[in-house]
Structure 1
Amino acid sequence: MSNSAQTDLIAKGQGFIAALDQSGGSTPKALRLYGVEEDAYNGDEEMFGMIHAMRARIAQSPAFNGDKVVGAILFERTMDGEIDGIPAAQYIWEKRGVVPFLKVDKGLEAEENGVQLMKPMPDLDDLLDRANAAGIYGTKMRSVISAANAEGVKANVAQQFEVAKQIIAKGLMPIIEPEVTITIADKAETEDLVRDAILAELDALDDNLQIMLKLSLPTNANQYKALVDHPQVLKVVALSGGYSREEANGLLAQNTGMIASFSRALTEGLSAQQTEDEFNAVIADSIDGIYQASIAG
């Protein structure tokens, strides 16, 4: 992998991974929660400019550093942008000690067999080359599982591992994210299928390869312990998936060896209208709570 110091930081996992990668579809909602209504910007360029300013503000806050935040997942446009006049990935690693990851998926296909696969990524190799040039350590890609459908789960996980091999071949660390929808009635049963499908893929993976996993907080504590302990899994991180920060932190603390990778739960309570001191106090409190839950296990 690209940087042994970065691998070491992630492997020790004394902290969490911030998800700063809302994309086009989820940006208006993220901005609304941040106190920026849709009439405050015209078109995509201004919208992305505002979400970049929010992310830059988070990255520049004193609490956002490698002591409690070991990694951050960036959106492609964030990687292409600058923070404090420095390319974004370079800034968060060199100035904040936070390992940069890049969201690489292009959204979801329509649901079939209870799952949504990732849309094709014909330009992935080019994007991975750009990521390497920008100093990105790893990637993240999301698909969705909404039913205990063995065929669907298997196909979903298989697609993730297939693309992961393409990412590893470019020298980057893939975070595989087959997200289980937290509101489904058969969530626990679905999570058994997810665990077993991932273990089967890991068994088929070359011994010298490693991946990371990003999974929904499970119904049963330590559901994914076999994955956490697997030698070919660098780290298992949890997504908040719609839980409030308090709920997500409580569930995370029950899972040994898992750390957080929260998005909405991280930015909860932040507002464009806050002064720097207010903003920095809220983000520091948020980071500390998620950090404590991440190391509790």
Structure 2
Amino acid sequence: MARAAGLDPLEMLREVGIDPDCLNDPDLKVPSEAIGQLLENSAERSGWQDFGVRLAESRAFLVLGPLAFLVREQGNVRTSLQLLSRYMHLHNESLQLWLEEEGQQARLCFDHVGRSSPTRQSLGLSITVVYRFLKQALPEGWEPERVCFMNEAPRDLRNIRRVFSGRASYKEAINGIVFKRKDLERPLSTSSQLGRYAHDYVQALSAGAPQTTTAQVRHLILAALGNGHCSLDAIATQLGMDERTVRRHLDREATSFNALMREVRHELAVRYLVGPPRSRNELAMLLGFGAPQSFTRWFRGEFGVPVAGWASDGDA
């Protein structure tokens, strides 16, 4: 991709601190922050604002390794996407996925947590890889309702329209794929009855690289904020613990549920405010506040300025 865009791939790697020797070892992990910056630099210098989407076209779903086998071996879309969300940390520790169901609609949401560099290209890459998997695994002709991106549309949309069959939508409230809820029950054509073996294998890998309670709670807060069900009690239930046990684990890791909630809200608030314009009502809902007034009070206390003041300062 870099060469096709007139770039020197090895020099681009060195520039962000990645040893080019990593290209010879597909199992070697490299910093996601550096990869994200590499993609952003490549998009900027090539002039291809859809660089991440283009790159995804050359990447088979099996690039996810053992996780890909587990996901494609499930009996239906719901189980497949739930396991993809649960075990994504084995492939990319900064990328978080979660499945939302509301009314007749389902949404697979994507986000990068703890990243200071821009994420437009890496999110475009990840969303396109999963979109292409669903297209392969579901009956011919299946399409989601929308493929959503929070950023503005690229200047040249020809490639985007081709890849997503005209379903891409920009300046959206989420990064992700929106489809009919009933699609979650559809069987996968990729299943070959190896699901149990794949599940056991990925579980063994996950056990060898355990996530901290802090990481798990952050992930669940992120997934639950916009649904209005983000409480310590609800998250403890999902972790199979009681509230006291979760508090004790977080205390050992020098944090707390309230501190993590504040961190996640802070990160998301900044991301939403630098994206497409949103009303106070929408921001309050996305950040898990019951009323716009509660969001307004929290924002002033967190950033020291009202929402309008933050936007005029251009910094948080």
TM range (shorter): under 0.3
Normalized per residue, the structure richer in helix is 2
Structure number with the bigger relative contact order (C-alpha 8 A, sep ≥ 6) is 1
TM-score computed with the length of structure 1 as normaliser: 0.27
